[in-house]
Structure 1
């Protein structure tokens, strides 16, 4: 099936060597806001990186000029995690670090806290046309022991059903220090997942559930350690019609289980059980995106479906809250990597994803995909 598509970001244009890490939300006005990392001098995950934005007033068919939303001097501002509030305000969570603070150095504990991963927040009250200065919330969002840290990437949630209506939930991940001083701290088992929660529209934040193998949780939101075969990394979340939250994460610990999932029934404070393998979502180690279509709709997941390579972007669907999955649409057989989903209208969703003819990182493309509605 052919889909209507556009290309908001193309590598090597508009002053950037590479664009990566897509995130998309629909503003209250209907404008689409497509965020990405604009990597200035290379495609590497560290260095001078800006958070950039393009807006669309016609459901992603065309895009306005590039806006730089966040800079961090010559360092990194990245991992955009936007959410649209009921008031119309758009919040954008993000992470900053020094230009030379690579993930490997951070995980090994070789970066001072001031140069490591720190959490910031911005907002817009005009559908993304202008933005507040970034405000740091690291002391509320990150435990002192954590080393690596990332928000999302991809859209966050404002819960709309049940007793936690109005709560903001931002899926995130972290790494923990090794218990053995001789260990580097770079092993997959030191990855963990957690949620950031706010009950006052982002004025204050706290850590909700945490799930990791090696860290002994010491705060009130901590959950029991997960199994050695599971190391949650980049996480996506979707609210189900009963108000529970479905969480799906990239797994770094076991090659056989690249996706793991969990459910929270108390608004992200705790997990019903630790993350466990989800064999119904086969694919490589990569970020993915989850989106629920509403009371009678399905739960969707986007991500590459090739068993080993970042390729074959596919939309999969679940009618039982993420227990089982089937393929809904194969978007294309080309290389493809990170993605984010957004509801456009009753009949379609938008998919913002990394893809290209020979590399998954040549463009960030937007596609409009029809969805099945129950009769």
Structure 2
């Protein structure tokens, strides 16, 4: 079967050496009065990523860039620079579309020369380290507000490294905004404060649609078994929140998951291994579909630990068990994000290429029926 595929971002084009860290959301045109001429009735798709100016490095001069599609991801408009931090870094875009139509974009900023290793080791000042900012758009992503810093509300003074999601954030029933995130802790014991390898998970919460923020659950674990890193979340049909995370420690498998019964305020149990998702150490994304209710996960599925074989998997039991639903191909692939593109398709925005996972950020339309059908027993 041929799938509709487009390439909104290609390395070495449009002033950027590399594009990384995709995130995608669908807007709500009815909240703006009516769909604009030529737009799909389900709204626009906004594809965000990091535009890395000088190289593919995680540090340096990095902007948050955006392309907009009004035809379900088949074609894309011109590149927009949404988050620019001068010659420094703005990254980890975590967008969410509110019920009002407003689009929030949570992000992280730091000095260009501040590497992750130096931040984790405590060798970077608070001013140059990871700080959290917020922008918004009220016109379907065409223009954006100036960035507003919210670091003091959502980052503890003891935390060093800090990252939002990657991928989309979510607004749950009742209006609360939930942004999965992670942080690093100063080491203890024999490390003597020099390594900075310990990760923790948490989330950002807002009950007034982004005006004020606070920290929700915090899951710190320094025993080296579960090392919560990049985290994604979804609201299940019964109202529970499901969180799935990259695990950087040698627990069974490289994924872990957890549930919240109170909208992200706390976790029912700490993150535990999810060995049903075979994956390398890499970011992944979850998306809850409705009618029928199916939870999706996207990420590489290479059993040998390579960032390759991008696969969408599905769960009919709220993330307890998983099965393959759609395999893209056997090529290199890394980070990804999922979105309901329209009534007929789910959109997959993902890093891929012929010889490296970081040659393009590609978008594929996958029929909803293919992702939601049950495998015969």
Please give the TM-score of this superposition, normalised by the length of structure 2.
0.93
Provide the residue aligned with 2:183 in structure 1.
Answer: 174
Instruction: Indicate whether 1:118 and 2:131 are aligned.
Output: yes
Contact 2:72–2:342, Cα closer than 8 Å, also in 1: no
Q: CA deviation at 1:179?
A: 2.2
User: In the alignment, what sits opposite 2:13?
Assistant: 13
Partners of 2:87 and 2:335 in 1: CA distance:
25
- 1:310-366 CA distances to partner (integer Å, 9 max, x unpaired)? 000000000000000000011111000000000122332000000000000000000
Secondary structure of the residue that 2:341 maps to in structure 1? Answer: strand
1:318 aligns with 2:303: no
Q: Residue 31 of structure 1 is aligned with which of 40, 44, 48?
A: 44
Which shifted more, 365-374 or 194-203? Answer: 365-374
Q: Could you tell me how far apart the structure 2 residues matched to 1:291 and 1:72 are?
A: 30
Distance in structure 1 (CA, Å) of the matches to 2:8 and 2:348: 12
What's the CA shift for 1:295? 5.1
| Deviation sequence 1:222-275 (CA, Å, 0-9, x none) | xxxxx6410110000011011111000000111642000000010000000000
2:256 is aligned with 1:243: no
Give the drift of 1:51.
Answer: 0.2
Q: 1:267 and 2:263 equivalent?
A: yes
Q: Contact conserved, 2:226 with 2:251, CA < 8 A, in 1?
A: no
CA distance in 2, matches of 1:337, 1:346: 27
Conserved 8 A contact 2:185-2:196: no
Deviations 1:175-198 (A, max 9, x none): 0111236242333xx101101000
Report the equivalent of 1:344.
341
1:92 corresponding residue in structure 2: 105
* 2:253 aligned partner: 257
Selected match of 1:301 from 297, 315, 322 = 297
**CA distance in structure 2 between the aligned counterparts of 1:344 and 1:208, rounded to whole angstroms:** 29
Q: Distance in 1 between matches of 2:152 and 2:251?
A: 34
* Map of 1:281 onto structure 2: 277
Aligned positions of 1:33-182 closer than 5 A: 33-160=46-173, 165-180=174-189, 182=192
Report how far residue 297 of structure 1 moved: 1.9
| Structure 1 spans left out of the alignment, 5+ residues | 215-226
Q: How many angstroms apart in 2 are the aligned matches of 1:74 and 1:322?
A: 41
Contact 1:176–1:185 under 8 Å retained in 2: no
- Structure 2 runs not aligned, ≥5 long: 30-42
Alpha-carbon offset, residue 87 of structure 1: 0.3
- Check whether the contact 1:297–1:374 (CA below 8 A) recurs between aligned residues: no
Secondary structure of the structure 2 residue equivalent to 1:111:
coil
CA distance in 2, matches of 1:203, 1:6: 36
- In 2, are the aligned partners of 1:301 and 1:316 still within 8 Å (CA)? yes
Distance (whole Å) between structure 2 residues aligned to residue 91 and residue 305 of structure 1: 31
